[in-house]
A and B are shown apart, each in its own frame.
Chain A
Amino acid sequence: MLSMTNEEVKKAAAFFTKEIEKLASGRSLRLMEVCGTHTVSIFKSGIRQLLPENVELVSGPGCPVCVTPNEYLDTAIAYSRKSDVMITTFGDMLKVPGSSSTLAKEKAQGSDIRIVYSSLEALEIAAKNPDKKVIFLAVGFETTAPTAAAAILMAAEAHLTNFYVLSAHKLVPPALRALLASGKSHVDGFLLPGHVSAIIGLQPYDFLSKEYHIPGVVAGFEPLDILQAVYMLMLQIHDQTARLENQYSRIVPKEGNPSACTILSQVYQQTDAVWRGLGKIPNSGMSIREKYQAFDALLNIPIIVEETKEASHCQCGKVLRGLLKPSACLLFGKACRPEHPIGSCMVSVEGTCAAWYKYGAGRWQV
C-alpha cells in the first residue's frame, strides 16, 4: 500500500466509502474496532468523517493501558516507593492514575522508575543493577506478552536473581466473549486486531460467527486497510452472513505465530483477570507458571497496597464496552484532559478518550 500514489489512495478511499454507504442503505449500524491502534489510525486519518452518519465505529476494550485496573497501578506505585526496587515500564503507564497517585508523581518524588521500550531492555537494566530489585510492568495483550515471556526465559538462563515481572497481560478473545455475553453491547460487526491475530491466528475468534452470528474481519492499520475491512464487514451484513475474514493476510497467517504461542504457554498459564470497566473475566489473563515463579514480583517481594478507590464520575468502564461515547461523559474535555487525566482512557495515546480529544472529534468543524 506504501507504493500507491496519493491520488490512488484518495481514489481507493472514495470507492470504499461510496460502497459502504450503498451497502448500509440507511440502516444504523455499529461496528466495533477492538484494538487501540485501530482507534488511533481511524481518528488520525479522519475515517469517521468519510463514513456515512449511520455507520458508527465504536472503540472496544483493546487499549492495554486502559483496561489495566487501579489495583495493578496501586501495586506498582507501592513497589516504586521501596528503596531497593527499580520499576521499568512502558512510558504510557507513567501518567495513569491509580487510587491516589501516579508513577509520574512518584518519579518526581524520587522513586527509581525507568522508561523502557521492551522487556529485554528491562532485563539489561537488571543485569547492570545487581543491587536493585528490577520489576518490569508487563502490560499488554498477546502481542507484547511473548516478549515478556522471552525475557523471563532469558533471565532464567542467565541466572538473574534481581529481575521480576508484575504481570497484567491480557487475552483479547475472552474479553470479546464477555462483552457479548453481557448482552448490553450491541455490535453488528467486529474489526479484529491485526497484531494480536498475527500471534494467535484466526481460530480463537470462531465463536463470534458460530455462537453469536456476528461477522468479524481481521484488519491492518493503514487507513485503506481499515476502510477495506469496514467494506468487507458491510458486504457480510448486507448478505446477512457472519464469517471470520482476514483483510490483513499479508501479515496475519491463519495459524498465527506458533513459536510465539509456544514461548507464551511455556512461561504463562491462563487465569481469571480483572479488566477496568469489564470486571473479572474468566481465563482472560496470564500468570507466571510455577517453574518460573522466581520471577513473579508478587510472590517474591512482599508489599502492602492501599485500598483501591475508583475516581468518582469516571465513565471509562462504559466507554471501554462501547456503551458511551467519550463526549457524552461529563468529565470529558473539562476535568479530564490529556494533561490532567482522570480515567485511563484519557491517558494512553491509544485510549479512546485521548484519541477523541487529540484528533478533535467535535472540536474541528469544517
Chain B
Amino acid sequence: MSNERVQLAHGSGGKLSHDLIKDVMWPAFANEILGEMNDGAQLHISGCRLAFSTDSYVVKPLFFPGGDIGKLAVCGTVNDVAMNGALPLYLSAGFVLEEGFPIADLQRIVASMQQSAKEAGVHIVTGDTKVVEKGAVDGIYINTAGIGKIMDGIHISGKNALPGQNIILSGYLGEHSLAVMGERHGLQFPQSVRSDCAPLNGLVEAMLTAVPKVAVLRDPTRGGLATTLNEIALQSGVGIMLEETHIPISSAVQAACDILGFDPLYLANEGKMIVFVEPESTNQVLDIMQQHVYGSEARVIGTVVKEPRGQVGLRTRIGGVRLLDMLVGDQLPRIC
C-alpha cells in the first residue's frame, strides 16, 4: 500500500475505508479498546464507564435542506456516543477555517451547533480554531469529539448479535444523502427529501431505560444500512436476513435513486438507528420507538440467522434471495 495514494473512495466508509484502517491506522495504533471496532471507545475509568467518540465533518455544501455542517457536527458525534448505550454529556469542537470565509456563515453554523447541542442536552466545553490560507480547505471543516456516561447495566456492542434476534430500523432511509446531493448539484427533488439529521440520544435513553437487554445499536451513516449490517455480521460472526418489502424507503427517495443510479440501502443517514433485540422484547422496543419523534416509523426489517456467517442476505419483492454486500468505492463523496 505504501506506493499508493489516498483516493476519495478511501473515505467512503466502505471496503476501501476498512482496508485503509486495517493496513495503515491499525498497525500504528493497535490496542484492545480500538480493537472493539464500535462507533466509539468504551472506557472504564475509576469504576465509571464512559463512551468517547470523534468525527470530522467536511460536508459540501455547508447548508442543505434539513440541516447544515454545524447541526451535523453535533448530532453525528452525539449519536456515535449514544450508540454505545451512553448518555452524551460534553463535546469538543475544532474548526479549520479557510481565509476569506464569511463570518456571517460561521455565526450561522455555530448558532446551529448551539441549538442542536441544546436539543441533545449536551454542552460544548472545549474547542480550537485554526485558519489556513485560501484554497487549503473548502470553507470550513469541523471536528467534534464527545464523551458520555454508559447507562448502568447496559452492554451494547457490535459483537452481541445472536441468531433469533430481530432487527429494527427506526425510519425511512436515504434522505440525508439525497438532500445534500440535491443541493450540491442543483437537482430538484420533492420537498419531502430533507436531511434526517437529528440527535438520537433521547430515543436511545427512553428505549434502554425500559429494555436494558438491547444487544446492538448502530446508526447507519456512511455506507448506509447495507454496510452497517455487514460490519455487525462480521463482528458477531452471524448471518443477517432482511425482507426487502419491510425496509422503509419513501417513494421520493426511491424515484430519485432510480434516476441517479443509487441504491438507497447504501445511502448515508444522519438520524436513523438499527436496534438488535430478542424476540420477546421486540414489541416493547417498537412501542417505545414509535412513540418518539425520531422513531415513529420504526419497524422490524429482518432477523439474525446462524449461516452464512459474516454475510447479509435480502429476500426480494418477487421472492428471490440475494447477497447485500458492503459498499465498495463511493456512491457520494463528502456527504458528512
- Residues of B at the A interface (CB closer than 8 Å) are 5-9, 15-16, 19, 185, 245, 260-261, 307-308, 311, 313, 315-323, 325, 328-329
**Given A6-B245, A117-B260, A358:B325 Cβ within 8 A:** yes
Does A360 contact B325, Cβ atoms closer than 8 Å? yes
Indicate if the CB atoms of B317 and A10 lie closer than 8 Å. Answer: yes
Whether B313 contacts A14 by the Cβ 8 Å rule is: no
Using CB atoms, name the residue of chain B closest to A224: B318
* A223 contacts partner chain B, Cβ-Cβ < 8 Å: yes
- Contacting pair A9 B318 (CB below 8 A): yes
Across the interface, do A360 and B319 meet the contact criterion of CB distance under 8 Å? no
List of A residues within 8 angstroms of B6 by Cβ: 108
- Return A311 CB to nearest CB of chain B, in Å: 18
A121, closest chain B residue (CB) = B185
Chain B residues lying within 8 Å of A14, measured Cβ to Cβ, are: 319
Q: Are B319 and A109 in contact (CB under 8 A)?
A: no
Return A171 CB to nearest CB of chain B, in Å. Answer: 22
Q: Are A349 and B317 in contact (CB under 8 A)?
A: no
With a cutoff of 8 Å between Cβ atoms, the chain B residues found around residue A366 in the complex are 313, 321
Measured between alpha carbons, how far is A232 from B7 in the docked complex, in Å?
46
Q: Specify which chain B residues have a CB less than 8 angstroms from the CB of A349 in the assembled complex.
A: 261
A364 touches B322 (CB 8 A): yes
Count of A-B contacts judged by CB separation below 8 Å: 93
Instruction: Pick the 3 closest A-B CB pairs, nearest first.
Output: A46-B320, A360-B323, A13-B318
Q: How far is the CA of A360 from the CA of B261 in the complex (A)?
A: 19
Residues from 61 to 84 in A contacting B, C-beta threshold 8 Å = none
Which residues of chain B have C-beta atoms less than 8 A from A360's C-beta? 311, 313, 322-323, 325
**With contacts A10-B317, A13-B319 known, is A339 near B7, CB below 8 A?**
no
B329 contacts across to A, CB distance below 8 A: 95, 338-339
21 contacts between A and B (CB under 8 A): A10-B319, A13-B319, A45-B317, A46-B316, A49-B320, A50-B319, A104-B8, A107-B8, A108-B6, A121-B185, A227-B318, A339-B15, A339-B19, A358-B325, A359-B323, A360-B311, A360-B313, A360-B322, A364-B323, A365-B308, A366-B313
Chain A contacts with B in 1-29, Cβ cutoff 8 A:
6, 9-10, 13-14
Nearest-neighbor residue (CB-CB) of B245 within chain A? A6
Cβ-defined partner of A109 (8 Å) among B5, B9, B313, B318: B5
Q: In the complex, A349→B308 CA distance in Å?
A: 24
Question: Smallest distance from the beta carbon of B326 to chain A beta carbons, Å?
Answer: 10
Q: Which residues of B contact A365 (CB under 8 A)?
A: 307-308
CA distance A124 to B4 in the complex (A): 33
Partner of B7, one of A6, A9, A105, A117: A105
Task: Indicate if the CB atoms of B185 and A117 lie closer than 8 Å.
Answer: yes
| Bound form: Cα–Cα A227–B320 in Å | 12
With the chains together, A289 CA to B133 CA distance in Å?
A: 47
Please give, as numbers and ranges, the residues of chain A lying within 8 Å of B322 by CB-CB distance: 43-46, 49, 359-360, 364
Let me know if A47 is at the binding interface, CB within 8 A: yes
Known: A108-B7, A224-B318. 4 other contacts (CB 8 A): A14-B319, A108-B6, A339-B16, A357-B325
**Complex formed: what's the CA distance from A9 to B318 in Å?**
6
- Residue contact A46 to B318, C-beta cutoff 8 Å: yes
Interface check A363, CB cutoff 8 A: yes
- A48 to chain B: which residues have CB within 8 Å? 320
**For residue B307, which residue of chain A has the nearest CB?**
A365
- Determine the chain B residues whose CB is within 8 A of the CB of A105 once the complex forms: 5, 7
